[in-house]
C-alpha cells in the first residue's frame, strides 16, 4: 500500500468538498476504504482541550459533532496525552475505555489510534476499528502513523473551520500581497478562459485575419489608456508592466503565430489559444519562481484578447456596483485594477498568484490591500460582503457585525495614528532624555525612493541593488545601472546612500540566471556569487562610482561576508574599478566600504577585518535564521524563527560591543529595526542608526520620541534574564503599554 498514493487520493477527494464538514468526511471515508476497516473516526481538539468527534465512517451518526472525550479521558484521551499510538484488542475491557453515547462502538473489538501532531502539539486523534478481535498488524499501524502525520497538515486549520461554522462566515488564508485592511463587496473579475476554447475551423480567412489585427489595435489602445490613467502616480517599474504588455502585443512570435494558425485553417480563438498556451507552458515549466510568475502575464494577455473578441460578438460585462469593492478572481489583472475607480477600490483577492505577481506589485504601489493564492473559492457571487487583512493574508467572507466592528476600530485607529505621524516628518528622532537615533530607509525600487523621503528618512540605509536585476530580462548593462543609481543618488542629495552589491541566491533568484542548489541558503549567494562573477561586480562598482562622482555620500555594503579572503578579493576589484574610471577621465572618489553582519562567523572576525572595512550593518533577518538554523521561508519551521530569541538578542549585543571596541560605526536593517518590541532593546545596546521600510519610519520615530533611554536600558537588563522570546515580549509589551504605543502592544509572534 503506497502512503503517497493513498494520501493523494484522499486529499484530492477532500479538496472537491464544499464545506469543512464534507471535507473531514471525505478524509475518514477515504481511510476506511483504503485500509478496509469497519470504522474510521477523526477526533479534533477543541479550545477547551476536549477531543470532539468531528467525523466517522462506521460509528453512530448521532454522536458526530455532539459528543466528545474529556481531556485525558478514554482511549482517545490516552493517545492524545501520551502522543503515542495505541493498538489493542477488546477495547471495551481496557481500564481507560470511555463510552461515547450514541456511537454503538461496543460492537467493535479491535482498536488502533494515532495522534495527529502539529508543531509539537496534539491537534487530534485518528482511530480505526474492526469487528474482528485481532490486533492490527505492525505494517497497518505504521501505515496509520505515517498517514496521521500527513493528515495533521490537512486538518491543521480546524480552529478556523470551527470559527467559520459558528459565526457564519468563511475564513480563508492566503499569501500577504499588500498590507492594509479592506472592507466592501465582492466584484468578480471576468475570468474568461481562453484555454478552454475548443478547436474551431476558419470560415473566412481574410475576415479572421482582419479581425485579429483589429483586436490587436483595440487592446493596444486600451492598455495605453490604462497606463496613462495610472502613470502619474506610479514608479517606472510598475508603469513598465504596461510596457511589457505592449511589447507582447507587438511581438512577432504572437502576431505571426496567430496568423499562421488562421492560415492553417483554425478560427481566431483557437489559433490564439494554441500560441498563448505554448508560451505560458514554457514559463510555467521553469524552476525559477519569478519566471513562473510571468506565465500569469501571458495568460492574462491571452484572456484579454479573447475578452475583446467576445465583446466584438456583443457580449457585455456586469456593471461595477456602488460603494467600496474588493476585486476577486483567479488572476485579478492590472487592467482590472486600472479600470476600477480609486475611490471605490478597497482591496484585491486572487485565488492564484504570488507576491511576485504584477498584481501584488501594483497593489503595493497603490497602497491597496491584497491577498494572493487563497485557492479556489466556490459559490462566490458579486455583492457578497468581504473583509481582507493584507498584512496577515486573511480573507473573511460574509463577516459578522462583531468582526467588522473590530476591524473597523483597528482601521480607524491606524488612520488616526497615521494622521498624527505626519506632523513628525521633519522632527528629529530623539529620545526624551536626548539620545539621537538616525532613521534611514530601505529601498530596492524607484517606487520606494520618494516615500522614504516623504516620511523623513535621513538617508538611504540599504539600497538593494538585486531588485532591479530581478525584474530585468537580462543582466542590466553598466549604463542602465548608472542611470538608475544616478536617479537614486540625486533623489537623496547630500544624504548618505548605502548601496549593497548584488545579493542574489537563496530566496532572491535571477530569472535569467537560475541557480539550482539543495541548500541555497548556505550556497552560492551574496559576495560569493559576486566574486565568482567579477566582471559583473566590476560593472556594478563602475556604475555606482560614476553615479556618485565626487559627492561623497555613497557607501558600499558587502553581503554575506564570512572570510578575510573575500574582503581582499573585493578590494582588488574596487581598486580596478577606480583605476579604470580615473584613466578614462571620470571624477570619482573611493567610497567607504562596510559589511552586512549576517553570517555568525563574521562576529568573531571583525577585529581581523578592521583594516578592510569602515562600518558594519547588522542584517537581522539572515543573522536570525543562521543563529537559529531556521529557514524563515519554510512554513514547516517558520514559527520557530524569531529575531527576539534570546540567542539572537545576545549575538546582536556582541556585535555592538565589538564595533565599539574597534571604533566601527554600526547600524541595523531588517525587520527587527521596525519591530516596536525590539527598538528599545537596540537603543539600549547602543545602536544609533536604524534602517527600515519607508512606511515604518513615522511609527518608529514616534516610539523613539516617546522613549527614555535610561528606562529602555532597564527594560533591556530585564530582557537579558529572559529564557525565551515569549518572556522577552512580555517585558517589552509592558513597556510599550506604558508608552501608550498604539495597535501593537499586545502583538505576539
Catalytic residue among 331, 358, 643, 645: 358
**Sheet with 51-57, edge to edge strand ranges:** 68-69, 51-57, 39-45, 121-130, 110-118, 86-89
Contacts of 71 (CB under 8 A, 6+ apart): 48, 49, 50, 51, 77, 80
Element housing 138 (H / E): helix 138-154
CB-CB contact of 21 with 166 (8 Å): no
DSSP calls for 283-334:
HHT-S-HHHHHHHHHHHHHHHHHHHHHHHHTT--PPPPPSS-EEEEETT--H
Contacts of 140 (CB under 8 A, 6+ apart): 35, 112
Comparing CA positions, the residue from 309, 51, 352 lying closest to residue 177 is 352
Q: Mark whether 669 is an active-site residue.
A: yes
Question: Which are the contacts of 389, defined by CB distance < 8 A and separation ≥ 6?
Answer: 181, 369, 371, 395, 407
Q: Which residues contact 454 (CB under 8 A, 6 or more apart)?
A: 425, 694
- In the sheet that 385-389 helps form, which strands lie side by side, from edge to edge? 170-173, 394-397, 385-389, 181-188, 325-329, 345-350, 370-372, 175-178
Is 57 catalytic? The answer is no
Pairing of strands 110-118, 121-130: antiparallel
What's the Cα-to-Cα distance from 660 to each of 429, 602, 614, 624, 654, rounded to whole Å? 22, 15, 13, 21, 10
* DSSP H or E run through 409: helix 401-421
Q: In 3-state terms, what secondary structure has residue 388? A: strand
Contacts of 421 (CB under 8 A, 6+ apart): 698, 699, 701, 702
The Cα diameter of the chain in Å comes to 94
Catalytic machinery residues? 358, 669
Amino acid at each position: 500500500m503506497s502512503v503517497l498514493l493513498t494520501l493523494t487520493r484522499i486529499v484530492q477527494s477532500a479538496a472537491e468538498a464544499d464545506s469543512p464538514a464534507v471535507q473531514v468526511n471525505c478524509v475518514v471515508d477515504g481511510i476506511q476504504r483504503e485500509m478496509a476497516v469497519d470504522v474510521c473516526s477523526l477526533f479534533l481538539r477543541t479550545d477547551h482541550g476536549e477531543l470532539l468527534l468531528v467525523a466517522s465512517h462506521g460509528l453512530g451518526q448521532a454522536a458526530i459533532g455532539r459528543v466528545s472525550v474529556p481531556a485525558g479521558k478514554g482511549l482517545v484521551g490516552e493517545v492524545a496525552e501520551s502522543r503515542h499510538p495505541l493498538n489493542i484488542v477488546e477495547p471495551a475491557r481496557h481500564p481507560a475505555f470511555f463510552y461515547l453515547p450514541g456511537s454503538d462502538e461496543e460492537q467493535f473489538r479491535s482498536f488502533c489510534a494515532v495522534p495527529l501532531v502539529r508543531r509539537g502539539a496534539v491537534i487530534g486523534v485518528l482511530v480505526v476499528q474492526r469487528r474482528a478481535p485481532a490486533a492490527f498488524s505492525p505494517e497497518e499501524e505504521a501505515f496509520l502513523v505515517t498517514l496521521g502525520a500527513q493528515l495533521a497538515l490537512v486538518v491543521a486549520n480546524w480552529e478556523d473551520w470551527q470559527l467559520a461554522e459558528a459565526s457564519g462566515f468563511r475564513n480563508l488564508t492566503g499569501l500577504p500581497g499588500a498590507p492594509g485592511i479592506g472592507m466592501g463587496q465582492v466584484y468578480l473579475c471576468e475570468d474568461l478562459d481562453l484555454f478552454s476554447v475548443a478547436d474551431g475551423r476558419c470560415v473566412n480567412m481574410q475576415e479572421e485575419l482582419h479581425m485579429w489585427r483589429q483586436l490587436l489595435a483595440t487592446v493596444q489602445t486600451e492598455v495605453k489608456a490604462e497606463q496613462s490613467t495610472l502613470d502619474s502616480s506610479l514608479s517606472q517599474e510598475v508603469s513598465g508592466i504596461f510596457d511589457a504588455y505592449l511589447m507582447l502585443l507587438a511581438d512577432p512570435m504572437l502576431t505571426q503565430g496567430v496568423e499562421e494558425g488562421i492560415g492553417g485553417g483554425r478560427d481566431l480563438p483557437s489559433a490564439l489559444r494554441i500560441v498563448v498556451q505554448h508560451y505560458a507552458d514554457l514559463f510555467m515549466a521553469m524552476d525559477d519562481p519569478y519566471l513562473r510568475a510571468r506565465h500569469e502575464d501571458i495568460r492574462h494577455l491571452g484572456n484579454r484578447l479573447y475578452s475583446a473578441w467576445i465583446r466584438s460578438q456583443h457580449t457585455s460585462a456586469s456593471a461595477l456596483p456602488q460603494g467600496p469593492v474588493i476585486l476577486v478572481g483567479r488572476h485579478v489583472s492590472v487592467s482590472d485594477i486600472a479600470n476600477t475607480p480609486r475611490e471605490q477600490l478597497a482591496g484585491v483577492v486572487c485565488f492564484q498568484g504570488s507576491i511576485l505577481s504584477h498584481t501584488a506589485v501594483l497593489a503595493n504601489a497603490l497602497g491597496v490591500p491584497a491577498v494572493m493564492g487563497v485557492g479556489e473559492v466556490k459559490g462566490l457571487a458579486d455583492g457578497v460582503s468581504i473583509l481582507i487583512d493584507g498584512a496577515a493574508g486573511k480573507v473573511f467572507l460574509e463577516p459578522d457585525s462583531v468582526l467588522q466592528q473590530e476591524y473597523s476600530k483597528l482601521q480607524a485607529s491606524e488612520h488616526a495614528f497615521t494622521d498624527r505621524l505626519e506632523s513628525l516628518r521633519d522632527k528629529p528622532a530623539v529620545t526624551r532624555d536626548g539620545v539621537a537615533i538616525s532613521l534611514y530607509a530601505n529601498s530596492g525600487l524607484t517606487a520606494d525612493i520618494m516615500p522614504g523621503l516623504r516620511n523623513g528618512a535621513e538617508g538611504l540605509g540599504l539600497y538593494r541593488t538585486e531588485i532591479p536585476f530581478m525584474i530585468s530580462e537580462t543582466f542590466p548593462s553598466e549604463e542602465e545601472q548608472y542611470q538608475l543609481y544616478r536617479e537614486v543618488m540625486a533623489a537623496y542629495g547630500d544624504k548618505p546612500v548605502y548601496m549593497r552589491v548584488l545579493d542574489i541566491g537563496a530566496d532572491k533568484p535571477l530569472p535569467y540566471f537560475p541557480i539550482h542548489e539543495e541548500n541555497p541558503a548556505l550556497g552560492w549567494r551574496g559576495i560569493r556569487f559576486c566574486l565568482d562573477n567579477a566582471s559583473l561586480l566590476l560593472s556594478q562598482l563602475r556604475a555606482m562610482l560614476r553615479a556618485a562622482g565626487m559627492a561623497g555620500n555613497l557607501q558600499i555594503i558587502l553581503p554575506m561576508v564570512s572570510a578575510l579572503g573575500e574582503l581582499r578579493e573585493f578590494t582588488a576589484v574596487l581598486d580596478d574599478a577606480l583605476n579604470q574610471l580615473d584613466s578614462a577621465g571620470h571624477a570619482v572618489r573611493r567610497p567607504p566600504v562596510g559589511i552586512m553582519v549576517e553570517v555568525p562567523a563574521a562576529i568573531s572576525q571583525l577585529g581581523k577585518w578592521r583594516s578592510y572595512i569602515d562600518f558594519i550593518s547588522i542584517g537581522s533577518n539572515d543573522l536570525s535564521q543562521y543563529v537559529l538554523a531556521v529557514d524563515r521561508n519554510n512554513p514547516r519551521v517558520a514559527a520557530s524563527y524569531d529575531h527576539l530569541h534570546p540567542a539572537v538578542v545576545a549575538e546582536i549585543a556582541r556585535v555592538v560591543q565589538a564595533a565599539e571596541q574597534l571604533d566601527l560605526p554600526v547600524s541595523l536593517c531588517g525587520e527587527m529595526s521596525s519591530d516596536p518590541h525590539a527598538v528599545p532593546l537596540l537603543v539600549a545596546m547602543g545602536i544609533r542608526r536604524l534602517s527600515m521600510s519607508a512606511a515604518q519610519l513615522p511609527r518608529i520615530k514616534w516610539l523613539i520620541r516617546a522613549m527614555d533611554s535610561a528606562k529602555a536600558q532597564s527594560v533591556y537588563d530585564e530582557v537579558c534574564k529572559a529564557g525565551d522570546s515569549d518572556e522577552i515580549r512580555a517585558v517589552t509589551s509592558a513597556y510599550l503599554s506604558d508608552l501608550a504605543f498604539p495597535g501593537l502592544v499586545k502583538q505576539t509572534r
